[in-house]
Structure 1
Amino acid sequence: MPLHQRVICSTISFRRLPLAAALRQITDLGFARIDLGALPGVCDHVPYELTANAVAEVASEIHESGLAVRSINADIGDLNRPLDSDGQSAREQHFRRLVELAVQIQAPAIVLPCGSQGHDPLRNLDLDIRNVAEELRKASLLAADQGVEIWVESQHSGRLCHSLDRAGQLMDALLGSGVRSVLDFSHVVASGDDPLTWIGSYASEVAHVHIRDARRGDIHLSPGNGEVDFAAAIAALTAGGYTGDYSLELETADVTDAERPAAAARAGEFISSLL
């Protein structure tokens, strides 16, 4: 069946390929839009050392591909980690380069994470979550000047806000900021939470959805190989008024690299069938 226009593909799905090759693969599969991976150690399609030349090179490859970009999925460091003035300056410079890239490739949003890797706070939980929210608010103000939104993957099974409770604390701290949430079903299920409970509480906050399957403690499964009830979750989002995209972020470990294009095609068709 043809891909639904709301089903897009993250370059993280083909993170082991160089950016140009990943873009060609995504185009060959019939996708028209992407999320661009910029996660150091996970997907280096955008260099972490982001110079003006690097921005121009990435933008050139995106433009040559003909693909439209929905978001840049990025990491500018642990937002709950206190920094000295030099550290803050370096973080802001890196972020401004990401905004410059977003403008050049006409990406309407940058996605940032919900705190440091691991579940333990760096100081104490309430303070750490407040600091993440403050840094996201500052990023949102800087990006808004260039017409770029900030979204946060507010529940991530491997980071500070790994649970629905902590994600809720973060989202509450962000009320009125303009920062909205990215919902990744795999992180919710891997953390032992229920996507339907998440959607029932926060459907109005969802700006974007990442697609991957999971079971508790394992987020690296292709759709259909884990415990995510995609039909029920997508139906609940639709009932809650969500009209945005579903991005295949298939950083999976249950297929070989040679099988990955076919697995991405199957996932795209499967999610399309639910829309």
Structure 2
Amino acid sequence: MNVGASSACFFPLETEKALDRVLSLGFKQTEVFFNTSSELEEPFVKDLRQNADDHGAKIISVHPFSSALESNCIFAEYERRYNDFIGLYQKHFHAAAMLGAGNVVIHGSVAKQKRDLSDEFYFERFAKLVELGKKEGVNVCQENVVRFRSESVDFLKRMRDYLGSDFHMVFDIKQSIRCGYDPFFVAEELKNEISHIHISDNSPQSDCMPPGKGTFDFKRLFRLMDDSNYQGGYVIEIYSKGYDVAKELEESKRFFDKIIL
């Protein structure tokens, strides 16, 4: 088992430079967080893949830059706007396939929209994303995110029931806390559907810290997921504000090297 790191940790550094920083720290798994549409063009994507290959690393997931648009452009009733924007997700899925990444992270709709749309409408739209992802051989995954519909475990269970085997989840530790849940409760309830995990540490004072600096029991999480035959990856996702990110990631890598046998 390897623990990787997301290029998002170095935001607002340009994506290719952020990825290079992650790879240069020796991480063998990573997530690419795209930051603008030009980065989805094939020459740019091929350069990212080549850099990962040169470092002997694997890009395991992709995070679209357009998460903030999804409520109005994907999970909303205006059909023409949906048709105009769905191509952006097709490009993300194609980029993920080119990178060899198996998972694409979706935030979805905010919890409270101007118009009260049904869960079924949301699930149907998500199913369309899933089908586009399948054509590229990638999983389209729902992340649990505070202030989004996916903040609710009950919502995620209904989504699982609707999508069946097409339901894949990105489990985020810090987001679980921000949503008011014990992360182990979320992981236990949805362990069989989790395809990708964003990790960070926490303490009573902070919900997002570099791994190894807080009180989160990572060994317990690894045991829980191993017992459920988890086949996905673990990627550190912390924010650059307030941290010397390279130093913290280097220390987190040493922390995991000690506790992972």
Q: Per the shorter chain, which TM-score range?
A: 0.7 to 0.9
Q: Is 1:247 matched up with 2:240? A: no
Name the CA shift for 1:196/1:54 in 2 (closer, same or farther; >3 Å): closer
Match of 1:92 in 2: 86
Report the more deviating stretch, 259-268 or 211-220: 211-220
Name the CA shift for 1:7/1:123 in 2 (closer, same or farther; >3 Å): same
CA distance in 2, matches of 1:93, 1:182: 22
Aligned pair count? 252
CA distance in 2, matches of 1:173, 1:218: 35
Name the CA shift for 1:216/1:168 in 2 (closer, same or farther; >3 Å): farther
Match of 2:163 in 1: 174
Long gaps (5+) in structure 1: 39-43
Q: Is 1:77 matched up with 2:63? A: no
Which amino acid is 1:9 matched to? Answer: A
Name the CA shift for 1:189/1:157 in 2 (closer, same or farther; >3 Å): same
Deviations 1:51-94 (A, max 9, x none): xx841243133034134321111236127742323211112111
Specify which of 114, 125, 137 is matched with residue 135 of structure 1. Answer: 125
CA distance in 2, matches of 1:138, 1:16: 31
The structural deviation recorded for 1:173 is 2.9
The structural deviation recorded for 1:149 is 1.8
Percent identical among aligned pairs is 18
CA contact (8 A) 2:11 2:240 kept: no
Which amino acid is 1:136 matched to? Answer: F
CA distance in 2, matches of 1:90, 1:80: 10
Q: Is 1:63 matched up with 2:49? A: yes
- Map residues 109-148 of structure 1 onto 2, 5 A cutoff: 109-116=103-110, 119-124=111-116, 127=118, 129-148=119-138
Q: Is 1:204 matched up with 2:192? A: yes
Name the CA shift for 1:216/1:37 in 2 (closer, same or farther; >3 Å): farther
The structural deviation recorded for 1:205 is 0.7
CA distance in 2, matches of 1:165, 1:268: 34
Name the CA shift for 1:208/1:105 in 2 (closer, same or farther; >3 Å): same
The structural deviation recorded for 1:11 is 0.6
Which amino acid is 2:127 matched to? Answer: R
Name the CA shift for 1:234/1:122 in 2 (closer, same or farther; >3 Å): farther
Moved over 6 A (4+): none
CA contact (8 A) 1:9 1:248 kept: yes
Long gaps (5+) in structure 2: none
Q: Is 1:263 matched up with 2:248? A: yes
Which amino acid is 2:225 matched to? Answer: L
- Map residues 97-112 of structure 1 onto 2, 5 A cutoff: 97-112=91-106
The structural deviation recorded for 1:106 is 2.4
Larger helix proportion, structure 1 or 2? 2
TM value normalised by structure 1: 0.80
SS in 1 for 2:238: coil
Compute the RMSD of aligned alpha carbons: 2.6
Specify which of 34, 56, 64 is matched with residue 30 of structure 2. Answer: 34
Which amino acid is 1:111 matched to? Answer: V
The structural deviation recorded for 1:137 is 0.9
